[in-house]
Structure 1
Amino acid sequence: MEAMLKKELGTSMLKYTGYSGGGCISEGQSYDTDNGRVFVKINHKSQVLNFVFVCITCTNAITIKAKRMFDGEMASLDAILQTETIKVPKPVKVIELDTGGSAFVMEHLDMKGLTKYSTQLGEKLANLHLHNKRSLDKQMREQQTENEWQDDWVTFYSRHRLQHQLNMVEKSCGDREARELWSHLQLKIPQLFTEVEVVPALLHGDLWGGNVAQTTEGPVIFDPASFYGHSEYELGVMAMFGGFSSSFYAAYHENVPEAPGFTQRNQLYQLFHNLNHWNHFGGGYKGSSLRIMKDLVK
């Protein structure tokens, strides 16, 4: 594999630094090259189960090629990087391995757990979420025309996110209570958005505590599954798993104020992640999924 990396990266030196890392899907390690230090994520399987459902290049819970998974992550990092709002590792290249599987090469960052940049993270994440709105506002001011790229987020989220997950629940266990609750909840969802304008925002897509860190210069986010959606969606998984300080939320909401109905919509966005985990990790998430649905249909 190292010979292939040297060839694809055009480097005569490829020296393992001793630093490694990874998650539940891929492993990773750092190398010194002629052009500086890089971090390489590696998945030796030709196909992997895709746990991320809302990314730029892949949107469903399916078994996919490792290369396609890394292509999606590279596109996500590129999209965030181009906003110049928050630091992410610079993507370099996705490489298909001749032994099967793929590798994703990116900039190496000396990261550690987020401890003192929570306020900056809140400000920078807000700027990421506002970037598209500001671009659209600028375009309308300059062109004085209506921007045609306005999708119905409520219908998209209801049908292609929640309904999709509930279809999977129905297929695997046919839960009667979930089916009955959904029949009531889907009629109520539009009411949760009557006082809010949804402008598509570029999202990280999977921003929990394990995908946030810091360097000496400030906060970093990584492992994105980016897409354009409601900025409040991002805060659903953050609230579900916790780990973000009050200073983060204060800084974020100073730039993106809570709109009326925020609390209920936050529950609605947590519902997707609970259903997702129910489908992939078992009935341990059934209770939380049903509880959220009951709260929302009251």
Structure 2
Amino acid sequence: MIECYYNLNAALSAISGQAVTKAKLRPVSGGDINEAFLIECNGHRLFGKRNQLSRLKDFQSECDGLMALSKSRISTATPLALVQEDDYAWLLLAWIDTGIKSPDFWATFGENLARMHREISAKQFGWGDKQRATWIEYFRQDKLLPKIKQAWSHLDRKTRHCSNKLLNKLSERLISPDQPELLHGDLWHGNFMVNRDGQAVLIDPNAYYGHGEADLAMTRLFGGFDSVFYQAYAEYYKLTPGFTERADIYNLYHLLNHLILFGNAYLPDCQRVIQKYS
């Protein structure tokens, strides 16, 4: 369990093992939602995310996800502390020194993701206080339906009608895994780094237990991964026929999320998928 502190300097003092009265903070790139900083103190370098205090629960969930993912064969960002100070929440992580991809980067990444999906499981589908006995019910009630509701004002009458039909047809469109599988939950090019050993490091998860297909589907969005990655994955975890169609439905969750966050540039893709599979 990652400890939560009520003062940034107190957290940094505990991490570094020496009293910190003033740390050096430098803004760095770190995503669209949070402020991100390189934090230097007592010879240590850390990565810090900052957001409104209301996001503390999200940071805690991210910590839990990183801890779960760390049990896999893929390197994972290391959470060090949570902080709630004044009106802000912080997530502090170990700094990652980056490198270039090794020759076996994509093959190793693909195989290890497949192994994670196969080897790390739970008793129910979902995460935290949202868990279900079946995969399709979880994906319908806790993933896709909330996003459709949030995106409702963007959708025309035809697409709204089709979205209801699609939700009712998910049991025909999707398949269930043998057991709940651990997923990164938001796996695209922006959510892994390359460490100094030339291997992948997972960051920024939205982890849950579901069907590994949903992770693999997400990797195909926004340019996709190298073909070697998919070959290596399939050698260890054979895909059931029909994956391409199921991937469209899994990725609808992410497209709707982008529609909600970033606007109507994502609307045509959302409409296409909803209408096609309804």
- Distance in 2 between residues matched to 1:240 and 1:182, nearest whole Å: 21
- Distance in 2 between residues matched to 1:17 and 1:186, nearest whole Å: 46
**Equivalent of 1:29, from 38, 49, 55?**
38
Give the equivalent residue in structure 2 for 1:71: 60
- Distance in 1 between residues matched to 2:8 and 2:80, nearest whole Å: 16
User: Contact (CA 8 Å) 2:25, 2:40: kept in 1 or not?
Assistant: yes
User: Contact (CA 8 Å) 1:114, 1:212: kept in 2 or not?
Assistant: no
Q: What does 1:249-288 align with in structure 2 at a 5 Å threshold?
A: 249-288=230-269
- Distance in 2 between residues matched to 1:243 and 1:220, nearest whole Å: 17
User: Contact (CA 8 Å) 1:192, 1:261: kept in 2 or not?
Assistant: no
CA RMSD of aligned residues (A): 2.7
Residue 204 of structure 2 aligns to a residue whose secondary structure is coil
User: Contact (CA 8 Å) 2:72, 2:120: kept in 1 or not?
Assistant: no
Residue 21 of structure 1 aligns to a residue whose secondary structure is coil
> Unpaired runs of 5+ in structure 2?
1-6, 124-130
TM-score (norm 2): 0.82
Identify which range, 185-194 or 215-224, moves more after superposition. Answer: 185-194
User: Contact (CA 8 Å) 1:120, 1:251: kept in 2 or not?
Assistant: yes
Post-superposition Cα deviations, 1:199-252, rounded to whole Å, max 9, x if no partner, equal: 211111111101112112221111111111111111232212124100111111
**Equivalent of 2:75, from 69, 87, 97?**
87
Residue 90 of structure 2 aligns to a residue whose secondary structure is strand
Residue 95 of structure 1 aligns to a residue whose secondary structure is strand
Give the equivalent residue in structure 1 for 2:89: 102
Alignment-mate amino acid for residue 50 of structure 2: I
Residue 240 of structure 1 aligns to a residue whose secondary structure is coil
- Moved >3 Å (runs of 4+): 1-10, 12-21, 112-116
Post-superposition Cα deviations, 1:136-189, rounded to whole Å, max 9, x if no partner, equal: 8xxxxxxxxxxxx9821112212322222222233x246211122123323432
Distance 1:200 1:16, change over 3 A: same
- Distance in 1 between residues matched to 2:13 and 2:74, nearest whole Å: 31
Identify which range, 110-119 or 182-191, moves more after superposition. Answer: 110-119
Distance 1:173 1:295, change over 3 A: closer
- What percentage of aligned pairs have identical amino acids? 28
Residue 106 of structure 1 aligns to a residue whose secondary structure is strand
> Unpaired runs of 5+ in structure 1?
47-64, 137-148
Alignment-mate amino acid for residue 22 of structure 1: G
Distance 1:33 1:120, change over 3 A: farther
Give the equivalent residue in structure 2 for 1:208: 188
Give the equivalent residue in structure 1 for 2:159: 178
Identify which range, 100-109 or 264-273, moves more after superposition. Answer: 100-109
Identify which range, 6-15 or 123-132, moves more after superposition. Answer: 6-15
Distance 1:114 1:41, change over 3 A: farther
- Distance in 2 between residues matched to 1:115 and 1:17, nearest whole Å: 31
- Distance in 2 between residues matched to 1:111 and 1:243, nearest whole Å: 21
Q: Give the number of aligned pairs.
A: 260
Q: What does 1:60-209 align with in structure 2 at a 5 Å threshold?
A: 65-81=54-70, 83-98=71-86, 100-112=87-99, 114=101, 116=103, 117-133=105-121, 151-170=133-152, 172-173=153-154, 175-193=156-174, 197-209=177-189
**Equivalent of 2:208, from 227, 233, 242?**
227
TM-score (norm 1): 0.77
Distance 1:114 1:272, change over 3 A: farther
